[in-house]
Structure 1
Amino acid sequence: MEQNDDKPLKAFSEVNGLKMYYEIHGKGKPLVLIHGGGSTIYTTFGRVIDELSVNHKVIAVELQAHGHTGDRGTPLSFEQDADDVAALLRNLNISKADIFGFSNGATTALQIAIRHPAVVDKVIAASAIFKLEGAPQMLWDYIRNGNLETMPPQLKEAFRAVNPDERALQTMFVRDQERMNTFKDIPDQTLASITAKN
Structure 2
Amino acid sequence: MKQQITCFLFIILTTAAMSQNKGNYAPVNGLKMYYEIYGKGAPLVLIHGGGSTIDVTWGRIIPQLAQHHQVIAVEMQAHGRTADIDRPFSFEQDADDIAALLQYLHIPKADIFGFSNGGQTTLQVAIRHPEVVNRIIVASAFYKKAGAYPWLWDFLAKGSFEGMPQPLKDAFLKVNPSQEALRASHDRDLHRMQHFQDMKETDIKNIKAPTLILCGDHDVITPEHAVEMFRQIPGSRLMILPGGHGEYLGELLTLSPAHKGDFAVVPLVESFLN
Q: Structure 2-normalised TM-score?
A: 0.70
Q: 1:58 maps to what in 2?
A: 71
CA RMSD of aligned residues (A): 1.2
* Letter matched to residue 192 of structure 2: R
* Letter matched to residue 174 of structure 2: A
Mean Cα deviation higher: 167-176 or 73-82? 73-82
Structure exhibiting the larger radius of gyration computed from Cα positions:
2
1:30-179 alignment to 2 at 5 Å? 30-179=43-192
C-alpha deviation, 1:164, in angstroms? 0.8
- C-alpha distance after superposition, 1:99-152 (max 9, x if no partner): 000000000000000000011010000011211011111111111211111111
Mean Cα deviation higher: 135-144 or 158-167? 135-144
Task: Give 2:35's match in structure 1, choosing from 15, 22, 25.
Answer: 22
Aligned residues between the structures: 195
Report percent identity of matched pairs: 55
C-alpha deviation, 1:7, in angstroms? 2.0
C-alpha deviation, 1:180, in angstroms? 0.5
CA contact (8 A) 1:24 1:57 kept: yes
* 4+ long deviations beyond 4 Å: none
C-alpha deviation, 1:13, in angstroms? 0.5
The gaps in structure 2 that reach 5 residues or longer are: 1-15, 212-274
C-alpha deviation, 1:74, in angstroms? 2.7
* Letter matched to residue 52 of structure 2: S
* Letter matched to residue 36 of structure 2: E
Q: 1:195 maps to what in 2?
A: 208
Q: Structure 1-normalised TM-score?
A: 0.96
Mean Cα deviation higher: 55-64 or 128-137? 128-137
Structure 1 CA distance for aligned equivalents of residues 72 and 106 of structure 2 = 12
CA contact (8 A) 1:75 1:179 kept: no
Q: 2:258 maps to what in 1?
A: none
Structure 1 CA distance for aligned equivalents of residues 153 and 88 of structure 2 = 18
